[in-house]
Amino acid sequence: MDFDFSVITGHWHFLGYGVLVTLALSVASGITSLASGFVVALGRLYGPRWLKPGIVLYIDSMRAIPVLVVLVWTFFALPIVAGVTLPPFWAALVGLTVHLAAYAAEIVRAGIESVRPGQTRAALALGMSRGEILHRIVLPQAIVRMLPAFGSLLSVTIKDTAIASVIAVPELMRQSETVAGQSFQPIEVYTFAMLVYFVILFPVTRGVDRVYRRVAHLGRS
C-alpha cells in the first residue's frame, strides 16, 4: 500500500481555508451560545413565572434532538417557514447556537445554584439589590465553577462544527470530503483532517484543565 501525501500539499489553500472556516465557526458559535446560554439561564432562574416552562421545554428538547437534525432543519426547512434563506455559514451558526445554548444554559444554572443561598440572603440583609448580588456575589464565584464545563462545551462546539459539512459549510470536514472525492485518496485526506482536528482539540481539552487548576481556588466559598 502506498500513501501519497502530496495530495495535501497540492490542495493546501483549499484545506487551509477549511481550517479557517472551522476556527471561525467554532469561535463564533462558542461566543453566541455562551451569551444566549447566560440569557436563557437567567431567564429560567430569575425570569417571570410564565417564562419558565417554555425555557425548560426548550432546553430538554435540545437535549433530545440530534444537532444534525437541528442544522438540517435550520438550513432547509427554516427558509420555507420564515421566507429567508440563510447562507450555509449563517445557518450553521444559528443552528449550532440554538442547540448549544441549551447546554450552556444548564451549565450556567448549575454554576449559579452551586453558590449557597445563604450568601444571597446575607447580601439581601446587607441591603444589596438582586442585580448587585448577582453581579458582586454570585457570578464571581459561579463563573469560576462553570469554567471546566465551558471548556468541555467548547470542545463539543468544535467537534459539532464538523457536522455543518452536511449543509455545505466549507469547513475542514467539507473541504476534506471534496478533496477526497476529487483525488480518490480518501485515506491521506481524512487522516490529515483527523490530525488537524486533534491538534486543534487536544490543547483545548488540556488547556482548560490547566487553567482551571490555576483558578479553582477563586471559586471556593
Binding site for other proteins (CB under 8 A): 1, 60-61, 63-70, 72-73, 76-77, 80-81, 155, 158-163, 165-166, 173, 176-177, 180, 186-187, 190-191, 193-194, 197-198, 201-202, 205
CA 65/CA 114 separation, integer angstroms: 28
Residue 50 identity (one-letter amino acid): W
CA 90/CA 32 separation, integer angstroms: 12
Q: CB of residue 106 vs other proteins: minimum separation in angstroms?
A: 11
Q: CB of residue 176 vs other proteins: minimum separation in angstroms?
A: 8
CA 96/CA 28 separation, integer angstroms: 10
Nearer to other proteins, 60 or 132 (CB): 60
Q: CB of residue 73 vs other proteins: minimum separation in angstroms?
A: 5
Nearer to other proteins, 19 or 68 (CB): 68
Q: Which three cell numbers stand for residue 41?
A: 439561564
Nearer to other proteins, 90 or 190 (CB): 190
Q: CB of residue 122 vs other proteins: minimum separation in angstroms?
A: 24
Q: Which three cell numbers stand for residue 119?
A: 450568601
DSSP one-letter code for 2 = -
Closest by CA to 162, choosing from 217, 106, 201, 104, is 201
> What is the gyration radius of the CA atoms in the chain, in angstroms?
21
Nearer to other proteins, 133 or 160 (CB): 160
